[in-house]
Amino acid sequence: MNNKSIYFRKRIILIPILAGVFIYMFYVAYRDEKVKTIKEFNARQMLLAEQAANRIEDYFNHYHFELNQFSTNDEIVNFSEQGKELFSLYWISNLNRILSITRVDKTGKIIYTLPDTKSIGKDISGQKHIKKILENHRPVLSNVFKAVQGFDCIAYHVPLFHKNGEFAGTVAVLVQFDELVKRYLTNIRLSDSAVLWVINNFNSVLYRSDTGEKQQIPRTFFSPQASAEKIMEEMIADQPGIVTYEANPDSKGRKIEMQAIHYPVNIADGTWSIIVSTPRSEILASTKGFRRILVLILSGLLLVGILYSYYFLIAWTAYKDKEYKDKHKAELTKMEVQLRQTDRLNTLGVLASGMAHEINNPLMGIIGYAEMIVEKHTSPEQRECAEGIIEEGNRIGKIVRNILGFSRQKTDAIETVTLEKIFNDTFLLIGSRLVKSKIAIVKEIEENLMTIPCRPNQIKQVILNLLINARDALDAYFGDVFDTKKIVVIIKSFTRNNEQWQRLVIEDNGPGIKPEIIEEIFNPFFSTKPKDQGTGLGLAISMGIVEEHHGIMTVESEAGAFTRFILEFPLESSIAAELQDSTDKGPTKEGRSDTITFKSSSREM
């Protein structure tokens, strides 16, 4: 991959990365703005709720102080005529602030009240707040209820005691609740869908700004996913806080996420809680402008990115077109070189065949003359020399016949022959080279091998190519080191899918094949040798020959340890139908396992 291609690829990767970075930055900015907006809104609402709570507490503390003064007055405790006069004076002085003042005895009966004296003698012990103060003798505040005058009001009772500590009943004032709301809660600003609640520790709604209802908080107010009990427990806690919950869907079925701040109001022995509940969507309405700005910026960047991508793609397309043309031009040049190389190989094959014929003719004369010397009964020394000439001449003749067979074309007849015989015939062609390279051959050949149907000359070509490659690799790896270089040849039978096969293994202990190129060695014209030493066609042709014989050719290697080529042939295959005449149907001679070490002469093995 050239530098320009790397440059374009980096630019391609850069576009989505930059887009992702910008989108994340905008997301973080918008998220922080939302958090900031909600935090500031809650802080404002909490401050207003705190101010309202403090004023309500001050309001009731005022009445608590004044009514406590009554608790120390014997006339009020015993409720004599003078006590009634004190009641009347207090009523007149607070006429504009309270609706009534009432004296209740220790059994819960009204013994005196102003201004409505009709209620005197009425038993109110069944009311919840009266029951509570009769039991614990502590100040108590009632729920909101409707007074006879039609006002929403609330009663505040303070206990009275005799000097001996005996409970004597209560004194209470009735105040107008609506006036209390108007005076202290209207300062809390609400959005369109926000709701202001006032609830007590009995889970009763004392006030609700949207409906004005006073009722028990219904569990159905919250969505089924919300924990109503937990939310209400938090809302009436003694500490201020923030609650997020999901309200029931609106008329259009949309879910509403609400956020409520709550602040406690400590009155008498109970607790009210001021709650401001606002939809999160309204709180975040002020962020819409910020969001629009972000969208505009993001849209602008997106447009720039699209334009950049468009012009980049134009440049990339032009570059790829040029690269494609350059690549095909290079491939065309390479193919021309390969064709010339193939033509040269064909010429060498024809030349080898002609040379073999030219050598064979004078060789026959040499052998003939040597045989004549033997027949004339010459001296033993001359006879031995003549027999040596005949032996070496026959060996040369066999080599010549192998060269002729190697140069034949694909139309060679199919024969049945053992792999051992094919290897031995091939070995005669390469043996002298292995002698020169001081390579040890270890043969492990199974006994009683069966013949296989094949074109022997083609299999010889494969074996010869593998032996030459092994020799070259060992020479390059070990040099002239003796007793180190080794080639192992294994021939044995095996069964595959209930069919008989034979396996030929040629293994050397050379440098091995690098893992990154082992998948390419069977490709045509691929070679690790210098250009003047290899064509890159040997293994490709060998693979084709093996597959043509319905066989399998594989390679195993470990860098710095070994290279092992495995040839596997079926004993019977579709090519058996092409057999003409069987040359050898029986088994070979007994198998053997031996080691051959080449010395200075090929005759010493």
For the stretch 589-600, pLDDT in tens is 334 444 443 333
What is the mean pLDDT of the segment spanning 329-356?
A: 65
Q: In this predicted structure, what is the pLDDT of residue 489?
A: 94
Q: In this predicted structure, what is the pLDDT of residue 599?
A: 34
Helices (H), 94-223: 128-136, 177-184
Note the maximum CA span of the chain: 180
Give the DSSP per-residue string, 258-276: EEEEEEEEEETTEEEEEEE
Q: Which residue has the higher pLDDT, 111 or 383?
A: 111
Give the residues across from 154 on adjacent strands.
175
Q: In this predicted structure, what is the pLDDT of residue 204?
A: 77
What is the mean pLDDT of the segment spanning 513-517?
A: 87
Determine the Cα–Cα distance for residues 488 and 557; give it in Å rounded to an integer.
14
Q: In this predicted structure, what is the pLDDT of residue 346?
A: 62
Which stretch of 41-50, 536-545, 549-558 has the lowest confidence by average pLDDT? 536-545
Q: Is the pTM here over 0.75, yes or no? A: no
Q: How many CB atoms lie within 10 A of CB 219?
A: 12
Of 3.30.450.20, 3.30.565.10, 3.30.465.10, 1.10.1240.10, the CATH number of 3-173 is 3.30.450.20
3-class state of residue 139 by DSSP: coil
Contact call for residues 260 and 245 (beta carbons, < 8 A): yes
Determine the Cα–Cα distance for residues 121 and 255; give it in Å rounded to an integer.
53
What is the mean pLDDT of the segment spanning 229-256?
A: 73
Q: Which runs of E-coded beta strand occur in 248-330? A: 256-267, 270-279
Determine the Cα–Cα distance for residues 189 and 166; give it in Å rounded to an integer.
48
What is the mean pLDDT of the segment spanning 33-47?
A: 87
> Alpha-carbon Rg of the chain, whole angstroms?
56
| Cis status, amide bond into 115, omega within 30 of 0 | yes
Q: Structure tokens of 55? A: 């004023």
Residue 224 has pLDDT above 60, yes or no: no
3-class state of residue 25 by DSSP: helix
Q: In this predicted structure, what is the pLDDT of residue 591?
A: 40
Determine the Cα–Cα distance for residues 155 and 174; give it in Å rounded to an integer.
4
The four Cα atoms 537, 543, 548, 553 give a dihedral, to 10 degrees, of 170
What is the mean pLDDT of the segment spanning 43-71?
A: 88
Q: In this predicted structure, what is the pLDDT of residue 579?
A: 42
Mean predicted lDDT score pLDDT of the chain: 78
What is the mean pLDDT of the segment spanning 184-204?
A: 80
Contact call for residues 177 and 153 (beta carbons, < 8 A): yes
Determine the Cα–Cα distance for residues 183 and 339; give it in Å rounded to an integer.
105
Residue 400 has pLDDT above 80, yes or no: no
Domain 3-173 identical in fold to domain 181-286: yes
Residue 107 has pLDDT above 60, yes or no: yes
Residue 30's pLDDT band (cuts 50, 70, 90): confident
Determine the Cα–Cα distance for residues 71 and 161; give it in Å rounded to an integer.
7
Q: How many CB atoms lie within 10 A of CB 474?
A: 24
Q: In this predicted structure, what is the pLDDT of residue 168?
A: 92
The sheet carrying 270-279 orders its strands as 205-208, 195-200, 270-279, 256-267, 241-247
Determine the Cα–Cα distance for residues 261 and 273; give it in Å rounded to an integer.
10
- Read off the pLDDT of residues 131-155 as tens digits, 9 standing for 90 and up: 999 999 999 988 888 776 667 888 9
Contact call for residues 504 and 469 (beta carbons, < 8 A): no
CB-count exposure of residue 158 (10 Å: 0-12, 13-18, 19+): buried
Q: In this predicted structure, what is the pLDDT of residue 569?
A: 93
Residue 588 has pLDDT above 50, yes or no: no
Determine the Cα–Cα distance for residues 595 and 486; give it in Å rounded to an integer.
10
Contact call for residues 263 and 13 (beta carbons, < 8 A): no
What is the mean pLDDT of the segment spanning 321-349?
A: 66
Q: In this predicted structure, what is the pLDDT of residue 503?
A: 95
Which stretch of 247-256, 369-378, 478-487, 502-511 has the lowest confidence by average pLDDT? 247-256
Phi, psi of 79 (to 5 degrees): 50, 65
Determine the Cα–Cα distance for residues 120 and 103; give it in Å rounded to an integer.
9
Give the DSSP per-residue string, 531-579: TTT--S-HHHHHHHHHHHTT-EEEEEEETTTEEEEEEEEESS-GGGGG-
Question: Do β-strands 486-496 and 440-445 pair in parallel, antiparallel, or remain unpaired?
Answer: parallel
Percent of the chain scoring above 90 in pLDDT: 17
Residue 128's pLDDT band (cuts 50, 70, 90): confident
Task: Please give the angle made by the CA atoms of 526, 530 and 535, to the nearest 5 degrees.
Answer: 45
What is the mean pLDDT of the segment spanning 414-437?
A: 86
Centroid of chain to Cα 40? 39
Of 3.30.450.20, 3.40.50.1360, 3.40.50.300, 3.30.565.10, the CATH number of 414-597 is 3.30.565.10
Residue 31 has pLDDT above 50, yes or no: yes
Residue 508's pLDDT band (cuts 50, 70, 90): very high
Q: In this predicted structure, what is the pLDDT of residue 409?
A: 46
Contact call for residues 243 and 231 (beta carbons, < 8 A): yes
Q: In this predicted structure, what is the pLDDT of residue 605?
A: 27
Domain boundaries, the chain: 3-173, 181-286, 414-597
What is the mean pLDDT of the segment spanning 262-269?
A: 84
Residue 226's pLDDT band (cuts 50, 70, 90): very low
Q: In this predicted structure, what is the pLDDT of residue 4?
A: 56
Centroid of chain to Cα 507? 44
What is the mean pLDDT of the segment spanning 312-321?
A: 75
Residue 562's pLDDT band (cuts 50, 70, 90): very high
Residue 216 has pLDDT above 50, yes or no: no
- Read off the pLDDT of residues 447-465 as tens digits, 9 standing for 90 and up: 888 999 998 888 998 998 8
Q: Given this structure, which CATH class describes domain 181-286?
A: alpha beta
